[in-house]
Structure 1
Amino acid sequence: MSYLTRALNWSPRYTLNIVGKGAAARAELSALADIRNGTDQVVQAPATELFAGDVRLGQSQPSFDEDSLRGNAGSVSSALSVGNIVSQGELGGLYRFALTQPLTLPAKSIVTLPFLKPVLTSFQAFSRLNTGFQPNDAEGTLQRAYRLKADQRLPAGVVSVLEEDRLTGQASISELAKNTEFILELGADPDVRYTRTVVIQNVQRGILGGGSRTYRVTYTLRNEQAQPRRAEVREEIYGAQVVLNGKNAERSATAVLRFDLPAGGSLSQSYTVELPQ
């Protein structure tokens, strides 16, 4: 590898532009590539490849955990204006992209280029709660979230979410294969609240001690928004033996409750779990 390889690195950043609200929301995803020259020298490269993935160099060299850039020294490029970045497919588990024009980076500079324009094959706005089982009542708010899939591989980066052209949150994504579902969680959703109640339905005593308890867990979700809202509750349950809604599981199980909340309305759902005591 040349010195230029070790001097440069790059990272993508995404924009998720959302139009509409609630279940009717639609979205577009786009990406820019930030190419950084952290040295005190001008870097010139007539041919440049971007590698996305886990790029590890030798112990005496820097390591770029997610992305690396390779540049070949050559003639001077007259301006920072460059063409599109095009995909070159996969190489040894890494994904390659190429610049279609020469690249010049001044010392200590960042050049930002249009990168990807993936098509979202699925998009869903919803409220979300991920929690663990506890045998006691609780209440609180859900989280604002978006569930997505894209029609092409996405390098790791930060996603900025815009609603009505206003920044409403940011979240990081790891590298994702084509049509891999991912979820962006952007913070509390004060308009979707929950009440959780727990009732002991049955207690079984073992002949030699031990035994089990069966709990009925009920979630009541209320939507204060003026439009319908999808919501999802996931509870992770752990135990030597878990019986969730009558089905046995070893050591762990996940209770999943999905809601289509009406505007200004509420819904309740329950599950049962038997755990050793």
Structure 2
Amino acid sequence: MLYAARMTRRFPLLPLAALCLLTPLAQAADLRLYPSFAEVTTPPLKVEGGAVTVPFPRADWAWTVPGSLRLLGVPVTRTRVTPGMHPLQAHEGEAVRVLRGGLNLPGTLVDAGALLVQLGSGEYLTVRPDELALSTRPPSSRDVADVKVRFETGGAGEARLLYQTRALSWKPRYDLDASGGAATLHALAEIRNAGEQAFSGGADLYAGDVRLVPENVSTPASVGVGEQGFGAATTSTAGNVAQDRAVLSLGEVRGLQRYALSRPLTIGPRETQTLPFLTPKLSTFARYARVSTYFSPQNSSGRAGRFYKFTADAALPAGPLTVREDGVLVGTVGLGAATAGQLSDLSLGADPDLRFARRVTLLNTEKDSAGRTLSRSYRVTYTLTSTKSAAITTEVREQVYGQGVVVDGKAQNGNPATVVRYAAVPAGGQANVTFTVKVRGG
């Protein structure tokens, strides 16, 4: 038979309390979900005989953050992490066949962990799991606990296991629906389980900058995490956002935004769930175009950019935002984290229907008695040309580097100085923006 590494969820015989601890959905846990990991606090387990052992199948242990395991409720004198036997270890020394490139090569399995085979010709070859054929059925890797965590305690009682896993995480997604002069912002909470373990329990979501000290750990490549959840099951309950609030805001905790699920979370292996999150009210909303350039004495031309801006009455965690106009998709962008009442500015790319031509005219050159240039003055003129069917407000933003910059007769602070001007460009028409710039040393 062909051997292909695949994890199933079974455990060897261990104390019942330890077995229930990680059996999927056996009991509810407390879950705290962050943007890149989750913290799990398991239901209580009994500690008897001064120790308790918890099994972690390999697929689950690979997602666990090293050093994050803690046993709460009883004093711990020692924690021992022991890797279990490889599923193929019992087949070491047996005859196997290697299927590669249309060949069927006889050999002997000499190292299960490294999948090292000694061919009948005497050479050694490292193989992939799908290239290895065995004469007898190997045990599934879920039939053994690949990793055992043993807590030796100073007494008996009830305890709870706390650990962090990168298998479970969440992020917000936003939909901005615009029509005419109005717009509505909806937020969805996307919860993703990238691992092989199911989770169940009350869940809080935390948004913000939460950092873990790296310990040379990476996402398990064997799990095959993909942007779409590896073709896994996906559940969405976002159809009736206003009436069925699935995620409730609990306010700010030490710089993090905290939210709670209104119902317990049950999420299976490789499953993604999307829940109604927020529908903040927008106090301001506007579409506009922007031209962004740097000062140069040379003429230039180009296209404006499409922008949206709005102010929401609720704090918004960072996440992707999809913009639709009258139901038509016009772009997806990243929304930065914003506090309540803070303006959010979105760039949706170039606008081919609004172009600019920038002309620069030298007005004056100031020199000292030795003929050295002290400054130069310029007139900068933007001609904005629209082929749109509606008028559009356009922001012209030009950055000027240098010391002692003067714009329209006013000295500027900062380097660079930023010149900002606005113009209403009529449908199918033109508008001009003009200002003067004096640059020291010009």
Please state which band the TM-score falls in when normalised by the shorter chain: 0.7 to 0.9
Stretch of structure 1 that moved more, 146-155 or 200-209: 200-209
The aligned residue for residue 368 of structure 2 is 206
- 1:35-64, CA deviations, whole angstroms, 9 ceiling, x for partnerless residues? 11121111111x11100100112334979x
Structure with greater Cα Rg: 2
Matched, 1:152 2:314: yes
- 1:90-127, CA deviations, whole angstroms, 9 ceiling, x for partnerless residues? 10110100001110111111111111101111011111
- 1:62-104, CA deviations, whole angstroms, 9 ceiling, x for partnerless residues? 79xxxxxxxxxxxxxxx99796100101101101000011101
Matched, 1:260 2:415: no
Partners of 1:259 and 1:48 in 2: CA distance = 49
Q: 1:31 aligns with which of 187, 192, 208?
A: 187
Q: Aligned partner of 1:171: which letter?
A: V
Partners of 1:59 and 1:210 in 2: CA distance = 55
Matched, 1:234 2:390: no
Unaligned runs of 5+ in 1: 64-78
- 1:154-201, CA deviations, whole angstroms, 9 ceiling, x for partnerless residues? 000011111121211111022111111121111111111111110001
Q: 2:205 aligns with which of 50, 59, 68?
A: 50
Q: Aligned partner of 1:158: which letter?
A: P
Partners of 1:266 and 1:237 in 2: CA distance = 25
The aligned residue for residue 11 of structure 1 is 171
Indicate if the aligned counterparts of 2:365 and 2:373 stay in contact, CA closer than 8 A: no
Partners of 2:203 and 2:268 in 1: CA distance = 16
* Cα separation, partners in 2 of 1:136 and 1:32, compared to 1, 3 Å: same
* Cα separation, partners in 2 of 1:101 and 1:83, compared to 1, 3 Å: farther
Matched, 1:249 2:249: no
TM-score by length of 2: 0.55
Indicate if the aligned counterparts of 1:6 and 1:62 stay in contact, CA closer than 8 A: no
Stretch of structure 1 that moved more, 1-10 or 188-197: 1-10
The aligned residue for residue 125 of structure 1 is 287
Query: Per-residue deviation at 1:238?
Result: 0.7
Unaligned runs of 5+ in 2: 1-38, 40-161, 219-234, 238-243
Q: Aligned partner of 1:52: which letter?
A: A
Partners of 2:363 and 2:386 in 1: CA distance = 29
Matched, 1:138 2:307: no
Partners of 1:112 and 1:142 in 2: CA distance = 36
Indicate if the aligned counterparts of 1:237 and 1:254 stay in contact, CA closer than 8 A: yes
TM-score by length of 1: 0.87
Question: Identity of aligned pairs, percent?
Answer: 40
Give the SS at the match of 2:388. coil
Partners of 2:197 and 2:164 in 1: CA distance = 10
- 1:188-216, CA deviations, whole angstroms, 9 ceiling, x for partnerless residues? 11111111110001100123534110011
The structure with higher relative contact order (CA 8 Å, sep 6+) is 1
* Cα separation, partners in 2 of 1:110 and 1:257, compared to 1, 3 Å: same
Aligned residue-pair number = 257
Matched, 1:196 2:351: no
Stretch of structure 1 that moved more, 133-142 or 205-214: 205-214
Partners of 1:13 and 1:62 in 2: CA distance = 27
Pairing of 1:71-90 with structure 2 (within 5 A)? 84-90=246-252
The aligned residue for residue 273 of structure 1 is 437
Q: Aligned partner of 2:170: which letter?
A: W
